[in-house]
Structures are given as structure tokens and as C-alpha cells.
Structure 1
Amino acid sequence: MGLEEATMCIYMVGTAATLGDGFDEITDFLEDNQDEVLFIKLEAYDSDYHQNFRNKIGEKIESRLGDYVFKPTDWGYAEGDCASLPVQTLSKQDVLDTGRNIILFTQVPREYPHTGDNNLCDYHDESKTSKYLRNVWIGVDEMDAAGNLTSNEPLAQNSSQLTADSDGNSSATTHYKNGNFSVVLDATTEYSKNDIKIYGDTVQEKAQAGYQLIELALVEANATTIGASKAPQIEDFLWSWRDDSPGTEHSCSWLTNDGEIRDYDCSTIRVFACVDANRNWHISESTGAWIDGYSACAAEGYQYGMPYNALESTELYAERNTKGITTSVWVNYYKVFEDFWLASQDAYSDYGYLKKDAIGDTGGAAFDSIDLIKRKLLGSGTMNLKSVQIRTGGRIDGLKACYEFQQAVSHANASDRELCIEYGDGDGGSMGSVLSFDSASGEYLDDVKICWDDEKYSSGSIYYLKLTSSTGETVSGGMQQGSCKSYSSTSTQQIFAFHGRQGDEVIALGVHKLSSSLINAGYYATEWLNNDNPSSGGIDYESFNEHKAAGNISNTCEVKDVVNVVGRLADSKLDYRFTGESILVGNLGSNYRFFCATENCSDYEVKYFFTTPSCLP
């Protein structure tokens, strides 16, 4: 049996595919769902087929998944580091902003190495796993109630490992509130029916207690037997809408009398769900329409809120009942368009979304880059349309749109790759000149002129396409005949993505628009800097002026150019907000500081973000 055949992806009982086939299915999904982030656990133990087994898996990851993978280097780790997944800090927005869609991680071995050492870095020895380590996170951060980090250890899996609150009480809820994730099962024992910790009705109970599951393997949908087939995975570990919601009529949501979330008429008068920085819930004293929640919560010292998970939803519902509220409560969850909802925005945003109809024939297969609009809104707005090209023969054989990723305020690094989408299934015609847009200079796609002819053949098609930038540059292709129509950007809305129909050519074409305010150049970030290594009993001071003097920041840069600074421990990469040490961050007028004032301070590294590239040395 060859190595590829020995490496199987198990989808469900009785079915399997090779690792490569499994990866191909993932990339096929992501091509049409660019706004999704997939979290995949790899069980890669020692192999009888190849002593370099995990390196071979690394090669397969790179050849099949390629630029989709969010790598440790994207978070600032050195090449080949045994990197622990930063679950306390890493967000979906971080991953999307880097241009990635997949997180790969591996965890505890089913059987510990013969040495008895359960350190995952030792198990995944770099001498045989360098290509694996390049793409896969080894374990996840485990943090106790005091904020102490244990890198590269299995995260808490049993109730006895749950971290405690300040009073010494431990539970799934305290574990969650300490910033931890949990795996419900004990992955080091032989499974039996009694080892299944959650199943059936208890799934929701665990969710309401605060369990955040890294994996759902061996979780039963009902409390039957495992047997030789093991246990089926439950479909979802989710909370959110009640069964009949959301509908298509309403764009706002509230917590119902039954503790569920449903959509409702935005003009209805209700109280509001408010939350503070520590995620403590408060029901507003005032009432109003849904949109009034932002000002109502702010007036009472809170922020308009939406529960993050089932635990918070339960806590909000309990607060409602404690206050004696007998009606539904508005939550900060609203529909941007179609079936796309956003939660917990700091302020209401009119994203200026507009879909213009596709012009041309009704034949062929539909295409729609609506997922790129969703990705733009789910991220921090740093993905922009970079260029377009037209592929022509006698008609418009293809249209190519490429997007770039620019730096956001994040521990993660923006990718230097382009995300390119091509419309038109055929391979005829030749690709024309590139029409590029420099978002840093405010350039954008200004006009799309489409000509179609439904008389030359029995069905219509796109015969001519002209694309114009905001600077007046153009590319065009095809034969200008038949009927023509233009879609243009405006001072408030810019063309961002496309939809339509395709066969061997582009048969029909329309556009998606977004608010011009969302098109931004991102920021310019330094490398990770560490100018001050505190001695015993010392402090750590990583300020703007000190790094400027050291040559890490350009001499022409000023404090006013600083957008933000992020910091983390130099060794374990733990975000400074979770270390428990006293950190002061902010603008002092003549300086911008990152200052650890704790006695015996740890060593921190920082990254500064600027509005101008001239600040980088």
C-alpha cells in the first residue's frame, strides 16, 4: 500500500478518501466561499509506511492547500518554530485579513511517545517534521485563572482540569471566562459509552455552561452505543436563531420571551441589551426602535450588545428575567443584505451595499462573488480590488478580478499574495492588459460598460466590455455592437465585485457596489521589535522615541503618524492583555509608549502601525 492510500480522511462511518482528495474538496468549497475560515485538526501519528511521514503530509498541504493556509509565520513566529495556536487572541477577522482561510492544528498523541514525555514539540521533532511545522500549529494555548500560559500542551480536556475563578471555584463557565477553550472528551483513554461526555439534549446544556469546542469528534447525536463504528458527529454545536428565523422580511433581531433570537420589524419599540467591557449584561432603562440601542446603551455607560455564544445568551436572558422584563429585548444583530447578518458593531454602519442586475443572456451557469463582499465586511476592510483584465476572442471569453490584502492592526501579517477570480469557463481568447488600482492613492474601478447582442445568435451574449479606472485609464475587449449599458461608481459607492452567468464566455455580467468609505489603504507595520530586555526586577519600555532612535522607525516619522501598537511576550507570543502584568499603552503627545510597570516584568516585543509608508525604515 502506498503512502497516499495509507493516509486517509475519514468523513463518516464506512467512508474514507485519500488525504489529497480531502484537501481538493476543501479547496473546491473555498473557491466559492471566500468568507469562510475552516478549522481542521490533523491526527498525524507515527507511521509504519514512512519515517518522514509528517513531512510528506506537509508537502501535500503545500501542493493542495497552498495559500489558503494560515501559517505560524503569518502570526510572527520564525520559520520552523513549534508554534502554539493563540486561541485567546486569534480571530476570524485576523485570518481573513491575511488572505487565508484554513487553520491546521494537531494536538495530543493518542499514545504518548515511549519516553512518556507529553510535550508536543518533542513529539513533533523538527528533524522529521519541518514541512509539517511550517503549516501546522502544534497544540493550543492553555491559560490558568491567573493568566499563566503553558505553551504547546494539550488544552484542558477533563472537568478536573478546568481553571478556577478568583474564589477558587472551577467549572466550564469559569474556564470559558478565563479565556480558555475546552475539549469535552478525554482523548487519551479507550472510548466507551460512558466516556462520551456530551450527547443529545446535554449538548445545549454544555454550550450554555460555556464549553468552546475545538473539535466535535466522538460526540454523539443521541445516547446510543458506540460499537465498532464509533460515534457519529453531531451536525452543529451552535446557538443562534430559533427554528423559523430569520425570515426575509425583517432586518433586525431581538431576544424573545423564550430566550431565542428571532428577526423582527426594526421600528418596534423595546428595551435594549447592553454589555460592558467585561461582558456583563444590562437591560436599558429606555426603550426605542432597534437603531436607538446604540445611543441608549451609551447613555447608561454600556455598549449595544449581542451575545457571543449560548452562555452569554443564557446570561442575558437571566438578566432580563431578573429585571422583570416581560417583552422581547433588542440585540445588536442586523441584516446587511440577503441572508448576511452582522453582530456587535460599535456603531451602526450603512455599508452602501447595492447589487446591479446582470446584463446579457439567461443561459449558462450562474456565478456570484457575493462571498467577497462578505469577506470585506467580516474583515477590517483591508481587502481591496487591485486589478482587472479582460480575455477576448470574438466575444468576452473571460474577466479576471484580483484582490490584495493590506495590513490591519493585528498580530497577524498581511499576505503579499493576490486573490484572483476568473469568470468564463472556456480557455479561448487571450488575456489583455491589466487595469490596476492603487488604493493608497484612492484609485478604484470607476465604470463598467457592457454591450450585448441578442439578435446575432439565438441567445444573447456579452460582446464588448470596457473597464475604466478613476484616473481615466481603460481596458476593453470584444466588438462593440448591439445594446450597451454602463454601471458607474459614485462619490459614495464603488464597484467592488461581479456576478452574472458563464459558459465558454461571459454570458451575462452585473456588479456589486460598496460604500466608498470602506475602500482604504490599510496601515504600514514594523517588524516585531524588542529594544528593551528587562533585567531582574526591571521594567520593559518599548516606546516610539526609543525605537526611532534605534533606527527601527524612520527619522521623518512623527507620533501623529502612529495608529496603534500591539505587544506580546517575546518567548511564548502571548498577547499582553492575558499576562496579568500592568501594561500602559498610549499617546503621550511627544511619545507613544508600550510600558510594562510590573516589578520583575517579562520581556515584550511590539509592532507599531502607521498611516504612511515613510515611517518604515
Structure 2
Amino acid sequence: MKISSHKHLATKALLLGSCLLLNPMSSWAEIDSSAEQVTRLTLQGQIDTGAPLSKSLWAGAHNAFASFQWSEGDYTDVNQWYSPKSLFWRGIRVVEYDVYPMSASDNTPKLCHLGLEEATKCSWTFVTVASLATGLDQLSDYLSTHKDEVLMLKLEAYDSDYHNNFRNLIGDKIKDKLGDYVFKPEDWGYNSGDCSSLPVQTLRKQDVLDAGKNIIIVTQIPRKKDLCNYHDEDHASKYLEWVWIGVDEFDSSGNLASSEAFCQNKDQCAKDEDGDETFSAHYALGNFSVALDATTEYKKGEIELHGDEVLAKAKEGANILELALVEANSTTIGASKAPQIEDYVWSWNSGEPNNANNNEDCAVSRSDGTLNDANCTQSKRFACVDDDRNWQISTVSGSWEQGSSACAALGNFHFAMPYNARENQDLLNAKSDAGITTAWLNYHDQNIEGVWQANTEYEDIGYSKSVARGDASAGDAFDDLDMLKRKLLGSGALKLKSIRITEGDNGLFRYVRMCYQQSQVVSHATASNNEICKTHGKDDGGRFSEITLSSSGYIKAMQYCVDDDNGKDRVVYLKFTSNGGASIAKGTCTGTSYSLNSGDQIFALHGRASSDYVWSLGAHSIDASQITPPLYATDWLDRDNPSSGDDERFTKQQSSGNISATCAASDVAGIVARVVGNKLDSSLTGQKLVNDSTGFACWNSDNGGNSSNTTCEDYEVKYFFTKASCLP
């Protein structure tokens, strides 16, 4: 039986044996997802999209399932007030789940924590606990409207004393609930059953998006055993299919160790050559770490990470800020020092960006290191960084668009935006050394207001948004702008692939489905064949029409009609026309007709819809030139072992039958390479390599060796072509 909120809280307080004073619910001020601090954190979460994970920064929540607010569980040893999905809406991007069987006889994966490791069973908690399935639904529900985001799920999942196949059951649940969203090890080129280690020195959020995915799942449990032997294939083959086991880690000598446990709170951090094992030293080695506050309600007075201490960890180099009791200080369970959303924010200053006078589209680093949006024509000096992420300020000033040339004048520097709080501190020091207080950053929203792009050359995409026509209050508002944001954040190879529209028995339009396809780009990641679809209205199996677009095809025109239906306007007719002249239409055009036919490509829709009808429609359009042609990738190729060197050049691959004989070197769009054994990216080996129009190679003579002194690593390569005919 569901009890009232006040009784529910009081019951929990009594279970804990505490003397908590219950605040009236009216005094609890929930931070809305549209609050300015949430906007700042959400924007910040995409600044590092193009950075390797070892330089990314994630706002996190520990034991996000153990929530007061979430109706799926009745937890007493809580870590959070909000449900996992509510935390995502507030800018949290990584959550941690503890997964154990319900009981000795019930192997259903549940969310609970007791600290008993393999012996844990959730029935010992004596309260209602949520299932893993409902916990995974929290991620998919959020991503259904946020396809431009990348989330991380940390799992604590031990081998069970009671159920031999328990982790495989977890794998089955992941497949069932999140299958199309998860960036799997095989998407990075691992083989089935491999103990795949998260390649934090190379993998980027951008690679995840370019693969057509949104979620990274990683585990490390247990921390003090050999992770690969523990997560062996015999009892975890389905688990290994979806979950990364630990992370890659460099030691002070530059040696790579795979499947290492996370460095959490400096425990197990790799030491540098001076024996330093701080977050700062770990970060400098190119590794990944977690600042963890595991405080529960039992220890609410012992919260360690809050306020300025949170960003202090980020400035040291911690990548995940995994906090407890986020935003809980005005609830019955919180302490006044519980962390708040703004504690995570190192970037935008309070109240920014505000687009003052509707003319502020470029980011400035202020005197205190926080960001402000400003008019792009102002004259300032520029923040520049080299390939080793060393910061310097340009010697010249100018408008924002002059940033690339101003930084290039310094030598091997480019116009840049800091990836994280640590880099931002380095930039602040560089400004001090240069004797300036403000500088332009390579961060702007010149294409779409509110959609900020970092560390990219500005290119006008010809964006426009039409007014939604129809009832302005019926149904629920929807906006598929997240698909266009995904295209901008990735490598641009996302395109509209197909559209289906349906009419009901009365001959009126009532449903539209737009599906997008991610095509291959130059990346270690393989683009998924999964389509990403957006649906609006009711698909009741009625009469439908469908159009499939070619690789160069797009929708150039849209016509729809709005008419009264029982006192409310709704869309009764919809027609799309492609650049090739093909068209589809459903419904009967009565009432008022609206047309979009500017010659641009109609990329996404916005408007209002219910479970029955589409009440209003508008469109997001971009220039037709923004269609990125697909690339065609070989498998990972390894034609020889190093002797005088490792020869993976184009002609050698062709003579080995790995590339079509009709293909020319001019058809190569790019090449990526990595070490065969540990999958280490070639750029991280420190070796002098050939990667040019001849293909890829490593020569011993270029690396201090000769034919009898092999120094080159054994590399495997992947070639990318502009023509499908180049594949054998």
C-alpha cells in the first residue's frame, strides 16, 4: 500500500533510529530542469565531447538508485533525493548502480547495496527495492528526448554466491532495455568475449555519437583482484558483450596496463616517477579517476565533497565527481553542506550565457576564469593550446573569427576551449603570465542560439526554424532539435534516412516517423546500422506511405494543412518532397495550408502532439551542403609482423587482397592504426610513423633499430574509403 509522503519520510526516519525534524513539503524547493545552474551544467557536459575520456569531466551521482523520491524503491540507506532520471534532467551524466539478486532462490537483478559483495541478496534489506530493468528504463526514458547526450553507467556487479549465471542475466537486461543505445566493446574493435578495457586515452564522447550510440557501461568490481580473471567468459559472456571491464592506465614509464580498477579517492592511482599518486599526477599520466563521496543518510554529517571542495578535485584532475545527497540540503535527509548542482560547474558564470541584446554568440574567459558570452566583433586576445595541451595567449587581438590565424602565428598552437576545470586553471595561469584578464575562447553558438560548439572551426550551416502552425496548447510540446545537435557534436555524418506518415480511418493524417542513419567516419569506432527514430502522433496501423532517401538525398519541401477538429486545430494533411522529386502525402488538405520550400534540407520537426494526433508542426532546416557522404571502412588489417618494420601500406594491403584492385590511393579518406595486442592507439606509442598517401607503416630505422633490431610495434590498421567499391 502506498503511504503519504509525510508518513513515508517519517517511517524511514524511524527505521534509521534518528531524531530528524521533518520539514513541511511546502518548504522543499526543487531545482527545476530549466534553472540557470542546470543550464550551465548541461552545456558544460558537452564541452569535452571531442576530448579523450582521460580529459573529460563528468557530473556524477553515487548509488543513484537509492533515492527518496523514486517510487520504484523504498530505500532507507539513501544516497540521493532525486530519481536517476531526474538527476539526468539536472545535468548529471554518470550514475552508479549496485546490482544483486533478489534472493537465494530468485535471480532477478535488483538494485540494492549491503557491502557483502558476492554474498549480497537484496531480500536482506527488508524493504522494497527497484529492479535493474526499471533502473535501465531511467536512462532510456531520458535519452528518448536527448539523443545528443552521452551517459555513463557504473555498475557494481559481483559474481553471486547463489546464482552462477547472474552477470549474464544483467547482460540480458542491458540488451533488452538499452541495446540500441550502448556503445559496446565490439564497436571499438574488440572480439566477442574479450575482457575489454575502457580506452580512456583515445575514446571520445564524439566517437560514441559517431557510432550511433549514447551510453558507456563500465564496471571494476572487485577492485583488488585480477579483473579479467574475475569477469571470465564462462560466467559472464553476455555481460562482457555490453560492459567495459575497468580502464586503461599508464604507469610512470609510459607502459600501458589494461583493465585496471578506477582510481577512486587516490586509492590505486598510478604513481608518477616521483612516487606521487594524487589525482593531479594520475591525470598527467593520461589516466582516469573518480572523486567519490559514498556518504549515506547514516553518515549525513560526514559529507566530504561539497561546495568549493568539488571543483578542487576537478582542478586536481579527477574525471568523475561522484557525489552523494545532491541538492538535498533543503530536505529532511540533508545536511546544510550537501552538494548542489552549481558545485559541479567550472565553466559558465552565474546567469550566463544570457545573449544580451540578442547579440552575444562567442565565449570569453573572464578574469576569474569563468565564462561569459559576448558580441563576437569585440577585440580581444585569444586562448591558444598546442598538441600537448599547453596554454598560451596570442600576441595579437582581434574579433572572434580571427582566433585561428592568431593562434597559428604562435607556431604549433590552435584556437581552443579548455576541456575541463584543470585545463581552465592552466588557462587562467597563462592569462596571468600574459598580463591580461579576458580572452576569446573557441566556443560559440553562432549557428543555433543556445547550441554551443567547442573547439571547432566555425562553418555557417544555414540554419532556420519555421514557426509551428496549429494548436498551441493541445498535446505535449516536442522538439527534435537534439538530432541536429547530435550532428553538430559528432562528425556530421548523421542524416535523415526515411520518413513514414500515416492517416486514420477518417482519411486524416495522424502520425509521422522520421528515422536517421549514422554513417561511417574516420574513427576507431564502427558506425551502427541502427536507425534512430523520432515518432509523433498515433500509429494505429492505418494506411501509411514511406520514403527512403539515398546517401545524397534530403527533404527539400514540406506542406501541411491545419483544420478544426472538435474545437481545436490539428494537422490533418502532411506531404514531404525529396530533392530527387519523390514525394509522400497522407490526409486531406482542408483548412489552412502551410509550405516550406526554401531549397534547404528539412532535418527535424518540432511542434505539439498527443498519443492520438499531431496538433502543430514546424521544422528545423539546414543547408543542403551539410550532407556528409558516407565512408567505407575495412576490417582491422594486420598483414605482417615487424621485421625491418611493420609494413601496412596501401599497395601491400592491395596485393594481399584486403583492398580492391580497382581502388586507388586517392580514394583513401583516412587511416587509423593501433597496437595489435593491447589496442593502444598508434599516436600514443611515441614511435615515428608513416601515415600519408602511401598508407601506414613503421620502420625500425626511424625508431633506433634495424632489420635485426626490431623496435616497431606490431600494428593493425583500418582504411577508410570514399568508394564502397574499394572494399574487397
TM surpasses 0.5: yes
Give deviations 1:402-428, integer Å, cap 9, x for gaps: 11111010000010111111111x343
Which of 152, 167, 183 is the equivalent residue of 1:54? 167
Give the whole-Å Cα distance in 1 for the aligned partners of 2:293 and 2:261: 11
How many angstroms does 1:248 deviate by? Answer: 3.2
2:242 aligns to what? Answer: 135
Give the whole-Å Cα distance in 2 for the aligned partners of 1:280 and 1:320: 12
How many angstroms does 1:154 deviate by? Answer: 1.4
Contact 1:88 1:180 in 2 (8 A): yes
2:392 aligns to what? Answer: 282
Give deviations 1:442-478, integer Å, cap 9, x for gaps: 2111111111223x64221112111111111111110
Which of 430, 455, 458 is the equivalent residue of 2:567? 458
Give the whole-Å Cα distance in 1 for the aligned partners of 2:365 and 2:443: 10
Please give the residue correspondences for 1:251-266 in structure 2 after superposition, counting only pairs within 5 Å.
251-266=361-376
3-state SS of 2:311 partner: helix
1:595 aligns to what? Answer: 698
Contact 2:156 2:219 in 1 (8 A): yes
Give the whole-Å Cα distance in 2 for the aligned partners of 1:379 and 1:91: 10
3-state SS of 1:216 partner: strand
Q: Name stretches of at least 5 consecutive residues in structure 2 with no aligned partner.
A: 1-101, 114-124, 704-709
Which of 140, 143, 149 is the equivalent residue of 1:36? 149
Which of 8, 30, 37 is the equivalent residue of 2:111? 8
Contact 2:107 2:163 in 1 (8 A): no
Identity of aligned residues (%): 46
Give the whole-Å Cα distance in 2 for the aligned partners of 1:27 and 1:578: 35
How many angstroms does 1:488 deviate by? Answer: 2.0
Give the whole-Å Cα distance in 2 for the aligned partners of 1:26 and 1:222: 22
Contact 1:395 1:505 in 2 (8 A): no
Please give the residue correspondences for 1:486-525 in structure 2 after superposition, counting only pairs within 5 Å.
486-490=595-599, 493-503=600-610, 504-525=612-633
Give the whole-Å Cα distance in 2 for the aligned partners of 1:377 and 1:101: 15
Moved more, 166-175 or 147-156: 166-175
Please give the residue correspondences for 1:258-407 in structure 2 after superposition, counting only pairs within 5 Å.
258-301=368-411, 302-325=413-436, 327-335=437-445, 336-345=447-456, 347-362=457-472, 363-393=474-504, 394-407=507-520
Query: Which residue type is aligned with residue 628 of structure 2?
Result: N
Which of 547, 551, 568 is the equivalent residue of 1:435? 547
TM-score for the superposition, normalised by structure 1: 0.89
Moved more, 429-438 or 410-419: 429-438
Moved more, 147-156 or 129-138: 147-156
Which of 565, 575, 581 is the equivalent residue of 1:472? 581
How many angstroms does 1:186 deviate by? Answer: 11
Please give the residue correspondences for 1:136-155 in structure 2 after superposition, counting only pairs within 5 Å.
136-155=243-262
1:181 aligns to what? Answer: 288
1:115 aligns to what? Answer: none
Query: Which residue type is aligned with residue 348 of structure 2?
Result: W
Give the whole-Å Cα distance in 1 for the aligned partners of 2:485 and 2:400: 23
**Gap change, CA 1:584 and 1:167, over 3 Å in 2:** farther
Query: Which residue type is aligned with residue 610 of structure 1?
Result: F
Contact 1:199 1:222 in 2 (8 A): no
Give the whole-Å Cα distance in 2 for the aligned partners of 1:143 and 1:167: 15
Query: Which residue type is aligned with residue 467 of structure 1?
Result: F
Query: Which residue type is aligned with residue 110 of structure 2?
Result: T
Give deviations 1:26-85, integer Å, cap 9, x for gaps: 111110110111111110013244221101111111111111111111111111211011
Contact 2:671 2:717 in 1 (8 A): yes
How many angstroms does 1:199 deviate by? Answer: 4.6
**Gap change, CA 1:200 and 1:359, over 3 Å in 2:** closer
Contact 1:446 1:494 in 2 (8 A): yes
Contact 2:150 2:208 in 1 (8 A): yes
2:121 aligns to what? Answer: none
Query: Which residue type is aligned with residue 540 of structure 1?
Result: D
3-state SS of 1:449 partner: strand
**Gap change, CA 1:9 and 1:158, over 3 Å in 2:** closer
Give deviations 1:222-273, integer Å, cap 9, x for gaps: 99xxx999x9776464421011211133211111112211112222221111
**Gap change, CA 1:37 and 1:458, over 3 Å in 2:** same
Which of 647, 650, 662 is the equivalent residue of 1:556? 662
Give the whole-Å Cα distance in 2 for the aligned partners of 1:40 and 1:353: 34
How many angstroms does 1:143 deviate by? Answer: 1.1
1:72 aligns to what? Answer: 185
Query: Which residue type is aligned with residue 216 of structure 1?
Result: E
Give the whole-Å Cα distance in 1 for the aligned partners of 2:139 and 2:276: 42
Query: Which residue type is aligned with residue 428 of structure 2?
Result: Y
Give the whole-Å Cα distance in 2 for the aligned partners of 1:452 and 1:165: 67
Contact 1:138 1:152 in 2 (8 A): yes
**Would you say 1:416 and 2:524 are equivalent positions?**
no
Contact 2:605 2:617 in 1 (8 A): yes
Query: Which residue type is aligned with residue 73 of structure 1?
Result: E
**Gap change, CA 1:51 and 1:337, over 3 Å in 2:** same
3-state SS of 2:141 partner: helix
How many angstroms does 1:487 deviate by? Answer: 0.8
Contact 1:157 1:186 in 2 (8 A): no
Contact 1:570 1:603 in 2 (8 A): yes
Give deviations 1:83-122, integer Å, cap 9, x for gaps: 0111111111111111111111100316x5xxxxx11111
Contact 2:609 2:615 in 1 (8 A): yes
Moved more, 28-37 or 512-521: 512-521
Contact 2:184 2:216 in 1 (8 A): yes
Give the whole-Å Cα distance in 1 for the aligned partners of 2:367 and 2:323: 34
**Would you say 1:611 and 2:718 are equivalent positions?**
no
Query: Which residue type is aligned with residue 181 of structure 2?
Result: Y
TM-score for the superposition, normalised by structure 2: 0.76
**Gap change, CA 1:4 and 1:517, over 3 Å in 2:** farther
Give deviations 1:138-173, integer Å, cap 9, x for gaps: 111011243311111214446485556677766533
Contact 2:303 2:338 in 1 (8 A): no
**Gap change, CA 1:420 and 1:49, over 3 Å in 2:** same
Contact 2:198 2:248 in 1 (8 A): yes
Query: Which residue type is aligned with residue 619 of structure 2?
Result: V
3-state SS of 1:151 partner: strand
Give the whole-Å Cα distance in 2 for the aligned partners of 1:41 and 1:160: 17
Moved more, 175-184 or 37-46: 175-184
Give the whole-Å Cα distance in 2 for the aligned partners of 1:558 and 1:6: 53
**Would you say 1:483 and 2:483 are equivalent positions?**
no
**Would you say 1:573 and 2:684 are equivalent positions?**
no
3-state SS of 1:183 partner: strand
Give the whole-Å Cα distance in 1 for the aligned partners of 2:245 and 2:687: 26
Query: Which residue type is aligned with residue 47 of structure 1?
Result: S
Query: Which residue type is aligned with residue 606 of structure 1?
Result: V
2:58 aligns to what? Answer: none
Contact 1:184 1:197 in 2 (8 A): no
**Gap change, CA 1:221 and 1:358, over 3 Å in 2:** closer
Contact 1:9 1:18 in 2 (8 A): no
Contact 1:253 1:264 in 2 (8 A): yes
Number of paired residues? 588
**Gap change, CA 1:453 and 1:553, over 3 Å in 2:** same
**Gap change, CA 1:222 and 1:367, over 3 Å in 2:** closer
**Would you say 1:534 and 2:642 are equivalent positions?**
yes
**Gap change, CA 1:498 and 1:192, over 3 Å in 2:** closer
